[in-house]
Amino acid sequence: MKLCIRYFTKSKKGNTKKLSDFISNRLNLEALDVSFDLEEDVDYLILVNALYANNIDKEVKTFLENNKERISNVVNVCSSASGKSTYKKVKKECDRLGINIIDDEYHTKASWIFINKDRPNEDDFNRLAIFIDNIKEKSDLNG
């Protein structure tokens, strides 16, 4: 099974990038931002993103549109200051494009200005480790 990691962030705090780097180290895979199209078909795309103005960014939508033929499954990983998930927004886009999105997702609060100071924190990363290990196990079992 082919796993791939793509992320999008425009935050100066780098919360989404921190999550992406953690996943990259955990899986020993390079994480690239969504400006890099996929070069080959992937079974599981781990899409690390954030909520901006209660939506996903247009760059995430463009990436999915441009790579829809190469993606079998999307795994949603997100952070937001509000603590709200991007799952419904990403699912809506995936449904529109005919891309499967798995039901399991990971989301956490992110720090922003004075909100959620020091997030993501150690507990958030411990939960992310468990989530990613479960995704890896599923991808290995399906291969």
Residue 109 has pLDDT above 80, yes or no: no
| Of the candidate ranges 25-29, 75-79, 111-115, the one whose mean pLDDT is the lowest | 111-115
Which pLDDT does position 136 carry in this prediction? 87
CA distance 55 to 114: 21
What six digits make up the tokens of 52?
């901006």
pLDDT-above-70 percentage for the chain: 94
Count of structural domains within the chain: 1
Q: Which pLDDT band, with edges at 50, 70 and 90, does 141 fall under?
A: very low
What six digits make up the tokens of 38?
């996929």
Which CATH number characterizes residue 49's domain? 3.40.50.360
For residue 84, the enclosing domain spans: 3-142
pTM: 0.91
For the chain, give the mean pLDDT: 89
Q: Where are the extended beta strands (E) located within the chain?
A: 3-7, 31-33, 42-50, 71-80, 100-109
pLDDT digits (tens, 9 = 90+) for 19-69: 999 999 999 999 999 999 999 999 999 999 988 778 899 999 999 999 999
Question: What's the rounded mean pLDDT across residues 116-135?
Answer: 90
Q: Which pLDDT band, with edges at 50, 70 and 90, does 142 fall under?
A: very low
CA distance 109 to 22: 16
> Measured in whole angstroms, how far is the alpha carbon of residue 36 from the centre of its chain?
15
